[in-house]
Structure 1
Amino acid sequence: MNFTFLVTDDCFSSGVVGLLDTFTIANLWHQELTGSRKKLFTTELVSIDGRPVTSSGCIELRTHKSISEARDVEFIILPPVFPSSKLGQQLTTAVRRWLVENNRMSVPIAAVCTGSFLLAETGLLDGHVATTNWQFARRFQHMFPKVRLRPELILTEEAGLICTGAATAYFNLALTLIQRYGTKELAGACAKALLIDPNRESQAPYFLEPKQENHADMAIKKAQRFIEKNYAEIAIIDEVADHVGISPRHFKRRFKQATGQGPLAYIQNFRIELAKKKLELTQDSIDEITLQIGYKNASTFRRLFKDRTSLSPREYRDKFARAG
């Protein structure tokens, strides 16, 4: 199988080099396990005009050819890019046509991390399930409302379009492809050699909920500050609405418009983020943390925590608690 990487200026080189190295190691292990000298995987880098590109880390990536010279493509990989206003410049008419045409010919396309923004710009993801770097999930949903985004997932695949979650989720993509075009034994050997957890399915445990203060509604900012100071005592949303002098119904609508989530979800997310820090940094029991963040029922806290992180509080502590 030959993998064609479409590289652009300012792409993240880790999403290219990490995969290139993984496929190289897969070839070495294939030779070790079978005694064959044959390479299962080959790779090539292409750019819009065939010239080298400079990654976001100022690393020059030398390419093999231009997209117009890339013939008989078997599999396309889109590396991560920064999802900014430059997206339109990177996705030229020629690139869009090249991706759409290859998709029409049933060539699989995998978007690594924020490479999903480039793929979504083509319209190919419309109506399909996708994931992306969790930090940019809200921006993705705003830009591409027709895509069925599942930001909690490490990897999605539908209609020949694969997307991965944040950063090193490209390792999970690599293992998937090595098993698909090689063998399960080979993928397992690579996972062990590279210390990759092959069973990761969710990036939810890694989410950090932003404060969502990038708005101009001063009353809602006042409400946010009130919540952050009184999160453990707030019993009903009406208390917050009263504090800022807005009717409860109007408050809920304005709060969601300003922050992207309702006040109840905001309070719950704030409490869960605080609980995560306590689980990471303290030895407080789960029952103690439950009370500290404003819940009287530990089972309610455990349920909400698992809903948002895919892990129980104990599992989260075991995974992320710092030693010492």
Structure 2
Amino acid sequence: MKHLTILVPTGDGNNLSSIVGAFKIFSRANAIYKQRHGHEVFKIELVGLNDCEQYYGGLFSVQPQKTINELKKTDLIIIPSLNHCYEQAVDQNAAIVDWLDAQYHRGAEVASICTGAFLLAAAGLLDGKTCSTHWSAAHDFKERFPAVDLQIDQIITDEQGIYTNGGAYSFLNLIIYLVEKFYDRSVAILCAKIFQIEMDRNNQSSFAVFTGQKAHEDDIVRQAQLFMEDHFMENFSLGALAGQFAVSRRNFDRRFLKATGNTPLEYLQRIRVESAKKMLESTSKNVTEVMYEVGYSDVTAFRSVFKRITGLTPIDYRGRYHKSALV
């Protein structure tokens, strides 16, 4: 029998649902597999730094069955989400970071949920590999771990025994993915039906909200950002915008990318798509009307940019998120 470790990091900001959810789904997969084949695939244990961890201001507590010092070998490790406390959690869980590195090099496979990727990356296990995490933490992740190939649109990445996933409750998709990998497809399908989880979902782009990265020190770039946000519906030249600040287009592009993580064109496209998303969600305007209002005049170009950024066509996005479709 293989051993499955669900980590219980220390720190009040950690996410209880991804610990409990992983435990419940893997336990059900074990029960299904045992009924069919006479044995379980995993021995499942919660493992942490301490005998008890308090979450959500003491409202809930988790009692790991073992500490990391008591567990010398495991086969699969689940790192839960750290919510928005990922920077603090990396510092508080330095011993877990070292333990993850040691276990991976002993043959364990490791899966991180949402911002749990910060612990995984701190262990150096993501260097040179692809990774996903919650879209809202993408900038901080890139700043701290530049050697990691962050694929923020992806819900699941799978590379060399390392698995990561996007944000919030998309961890359910990762757990179903792992059930299929370590049990079989039929067990995964039954678990997905029992827990009502959509199978084979692989993109989180439609959930992202673009707010624009302004936590930088480049005043020219910040002024350019504000101009774009105020005039995105107008037809203006990015070269002319660079000229307003007496910098060359090449230098403007370089500074903009360094400060925001986007080229000026990408930034403008994201502003326009974010505005289009809001109109598609809450107004009765058709796609053509929305297209013109956010600064596009070509249907093919608008559809292409919208789908690249959100993963959905404008029509599909409206069908999923418009208020009338949700009633």
1:58-91 deviation digits (Å, cap 9, x = unpaired): 4211011111111331211111112214412312
State the SS of the aligned residue for 1:84: helix
The 5-angstrom pairing of residues 145-160 of structure 1 reads 145-160=146-161
**Correspondent of 2:29 among 26, 29, 38:** 26
The 5-angstrom pairing of residues 13-52 of structure 1 reads 13-30=16-33, 34=36, 38-48=39-49, 50-52=50-52
Is the Cα contact below 8 Å between 1:103 and 1:109 reproduced in 2?
yes
CA change 1:126–1:221 in 2 (3 A) is closer
Is the Cα contact below 8 Å between 2:220 and 2:245 reproduced in 1?
yes
**Distance across 1 between alignment mates of 2:317 and 2:177:** 26
State the SS of the aligned residue for 1:72: coil
State the SS of the aligned residue for 1:73: coil
Partner letter of residue 296 of structure 2? Y
Partner letter of residue 175 of structure 1? I
**Distance across 1 between alignment mates of 2:224 and 2:285:** 29
**Distance across 2 between alignment mates of 1:203 and 1:57:** 30
**Distance across 2 between alignment mates of 1:303 and 1:79:** 35
CA change 1:39–1:262 in 2 (3 A) is same
Offset at residue 161 of structure 1 (A): 0.9
Is the Cα contact below 8 Å between 2:114 and 2:168 reproduced in 1?
yes
**Distance across 2 between alignment mates of 1:253 and 1:108:** 39
Partner letter of residue 93 of structure 2? Q
Offset at residue 259 of structure 1 (A): 2.5
The range that moved more, 270-279 or 132-141, is 132-141
**Distance across 2 between alignment mates of 1:275 and 1:57:** 39
Unaligned runs of 5+ in 2: none
State the SS of the aligned residue for 1:114: helix
CA change 1:256–1:130 in 2 (3 A) is closer
State the SS of the aligned residue for 1:179: helix
State the SS of the aligned residue for 1:4: strand
Offset at residue 202 of structure 1 (A): 0.7
**Distance across 1 between alignment mates of 2:98 and 2:233:** 54
| Residue 190 (str. 1) matches residue 214 (str. 2) | no
Q: Indicate the residue corresponding to 2:123 in structure 1.
A: 122
1:146-173 deviation digits (Å, cap 9, x = unpaired): 1122111111111111111111122112
**Distance across 2 between alignment mates of 1:146 and 1:131:** 14
C-alpha root-mean-square deviation of aligned residues, in Å?
A: 2.2
State the SS of the aligned residue for 2:72: coil
Offset at residue 16 of structure 1 (A): 0.3
TM-score by length of 2: 0.89
Partner letter of residue 126 of structure 1? D
State the SS of the aligned residue for 2:181: helix
Offset at residue 54 of structure 1 (A): 2.1
Q: Indicate the residue corresponding to 1:237 in structure 2.
A: 238
Q: Indicate the residue corresponding to 2:179 in structure 1.
A: 178
1:273-305 deviation digits (Å, cap 9, x = unpaired): 011111111121111111111011010000111
**Distance across 2 between alignment mates of 1:254 and 1:98:** 39
**Distance across 1 between alignment mates of 2:312 and 2:173:** 19
1:221-267 deviation digits (Å, cap 9, x = unpaired): 33322222211113311343355565544443443343332222111
Q: Indicate the residue corresponding to 1:136 in structure 2.
A: 137
1:85-142 deviation digits (Å, cap 9, x = unpaired): 44123123xx334222221121111111111110111111111121111211121122
Partner letter of residue 55 of structure 1? Y
**Distance across 2 between alignment mates of 1:116 and 1:162:** 9
State the SS of the aligned residue for 1:266: helix
Q: Indicate the residue corresponding to 1:311 in structure 2.
A: 312
**Distance across 1 between alignment mates of 2:216 and 2:174:** 36
Is the Cα contact below 8 Å between 1:112 and 1:164 reproduced in 2?
yes
Q: Indicate the residue corresponding to 1:163 in structure 2.
A: 164
Count of aligned pairs: 319
The range that moved more, 131-140 or 293-302, is 131-140
State the SS of the aligned residue for 1:110: strand
Equivalent pairs: percent with the same residue?
A: 32
Partner letter of residue 34 of structure 1? R
Unaligned runs of 5+ in 1: none
Partner letter of residue 137 of structure 1? A
The range that moved more, 148-157 or 18-27, is 18-27
State the SS of the aligned residue for 2:186: helix
**Correspondent of 2:90 among 67, 74, 87:** 87
State the SS of the aligned residue for 1:109: strand
Is the Cα contact below 8 Å between 2:68 and 2:99 reproduced in 1?
yes
Partner letter of residue 18 of structure 2? G
